[in-house]
Amino acid sequence: MARLRLAVLISGRGTNLQSLIDACAEDDYPAEVGVVISNNPDAQGLERAARSGIPARTVDHRSFRDREAFERALDSALDEAETGLVCLAGFMRLLTPWFVERWRDRLINIHPSLLPAFPGLDTHARVLAAGARISGCTVHFVRDEMDRGPIVVQAAVPVVEGDDEARVAARVLAAEHRSYPLAVRLIAEGRVRVAGDRCVIEGEEEPGAALFSPSSPSGP
């Protein structure tokens, strides 16, 4: 069975890109990174791609007269790479309805919260300000509305007394690095079906124990 070809779109460090690169290096993984594209020529993630021998290119949004021209160029680059699935991994550009519809159900994103809670920016600061005891991350198909769309994978992490933004961010990021490869695997294996506003996962297993925060030696 042919591997699903991924295009990973980045703007910065590319740590989630690295998690996908590492997963794709496994013999039994059903996907491969065909191209890495950044809107930022200085993105560290481009170096990650180069070290792994993955084609990488920059489509700098500042070189285009408007968003439509930028997205047309981006779309052409994705077509040239024979892309099957577009993975947004810290890609800091809002996409127009045209682009989202063009890649509908072939475009996924990862967000550092348990959506639909805390969409948008400054997620970890808002989690702390709200006194939330559990946070996490979400991999979802992209729709016109920011940080909305059928959810493929979520992972939950505790928020504990004394946490600051950096500690919560590190805990969530570690979960992201496991969640994104899992979501791509499920999609590549044909186990994800989009039904309206939600995903149906074929062969989904019964979940394990609940996560409690704060935890107690004597239980909840």
Q: Which of 72, 87, 103 is the last residue of a domain?
A: 103
User: Could you tell me if 95 and 159 lie in one domain?
Assistant: no
Domain that holds residue 24: 1-103
> For residue 219, what pLDDT is reported?
53
Query: Is the Cβ–Cβ distance between 138 and 151 less than 8 Å?
Result: yes
* 3-state class (DSSP) for residue 111: strand
What pTM did the predictor assign?
0.95
User: Which residues of the chain are modeled with pLDDT < 70?
Assistant: 1, 216-220
Together in a domain, 23 and 121: no
Between the CA of residue 163 and those of 62, 129, 133, 158, what are the distances in Å? 38, 11, 11, 10
The per-residue pLDDT for 210 is 84
Examine the domain organization and report whether 5 and 98 are in the same domain: yes
Active-site option among 61, 111, 124, 177: 111
**Number of domains into which the chain is organized:** 2
Q: How far apart are CA 30 and CA 108, in angstroms?
A: 17
pLDDT the model gives residue 56: 97
| 111 in active site | yes
Q: Which residues have a Cβ under 8 Å from the Cβ of 68 and sit 6 or more positions away? A: 96, 98
Residue where a domain terminates, one of 103, 133, 165:
103
Q: pLDDT tens digits for 68-93?
A: 999 999 999 999 999 999 999 999 99
Do residues 7 and 48 share a domain?
A: yes
Structure tokens at 110: 């990862």
CATH number for 162:
3.40.50.170
Secondary structure (3-state) at 51: helix
Same-domain check for residues 129 and 52: no
